[in-house]
Amino acid sequence: MTESVHDIRHFVPNLTLGAPVIQSLRKHTEAYLDCHLMVTNPLDYVEPLAKAGASGFTFHVEVSKDNWQELVKRIKSKGMTPGVALKPGTPIEEVFPLVEGEIHVDMVLVMTVEPGFGGQKFMPETMDKVRTLRNKYPSLDIEVDGGLGPSTIDIAASAGANCIVAGSSVFGAPEPAKVISLLRTSVEESQKK
């Protein structure tokens, strides 16, 4: 399971965490800092996030159809792991070219809610995308984000998701460590099957 930090601008109206927060976090942890950017021009953020200490850089296929190869090259050249995200309404086939070939991403993030705001209800129909990806690319890291918690983790993990982003269910829990343990156990058990 991946620790996750999100930077959101332009694509959605709010900003969660930016490069200064990543830089501050990096001083205190060796954890994998996965940055999911919902921005119009992700290329502008590669350098600042790399300097801040980001580990992963995930951009949206919806805004990067024309320059994704340059973007992936730049992300990798800065020592970060490239990932691509897609909204619930975007066909899964749009990410296939980004996973295949010499220049490719290492992770696909399937949004299980519409991007922009925490606390939304998990959309189970998005699990068809996760199953398609897992069947087509058995060793690919597949991340899911949105509405993940104790009541939805098993469906996501059994569909093939191996990286989980959980915000409200963890931070709103009386005992966050128990929720994190439950999520992690579900993913680990599903991977054994």
State what percent of residues in the chain have pLDDT above 70.
89
* Rounded percentage of the chain residues whose pLDDT exceeds 90: 75
Residue from 66, 67, 25 nearest 49 by CA: 25
CATH number where 184 lies: 3.20.20.70
- Could you tell me if 144 and 112 are in contact, meaning their C-beta atoms sit under 8 angstroms apart? yes
pLDDT digits (tens, 9 = 90+) for 71-115: 999 999 999 999 999 999 999 999 999 999 899 999 999 999 987
d(CA 92, CA 104): 16
Choice between 40 and 156, residue whose per-residue pLDDT is larger: 156
pLDDT at 10 over 70: no
Cα separations in angstroms, 139 against 57, 72, 78, 112, 116: 19, 19, 24, 21, 29
SS3 65: coil
Q: For residue 8, what pLDDT is reported?
A: 41
The count of structural domains within the chain is 1
3-state secondary structure of 46: helix
* DSSP structure class, residue 121: P
State the residue range of the domain holding 147.
4-192
| pLDDT for position 12 | 53
Q: What is the mean pLDDT of the chain?
A: 89
pLDDT digits (tens, 9 = 90+) for 12-38: 545 567 888 999 999 999 999 999 998
Residue 9: predicted pLDDT: 39
Residue 74 CA to residue 13 CA, distance in Å, equals 26
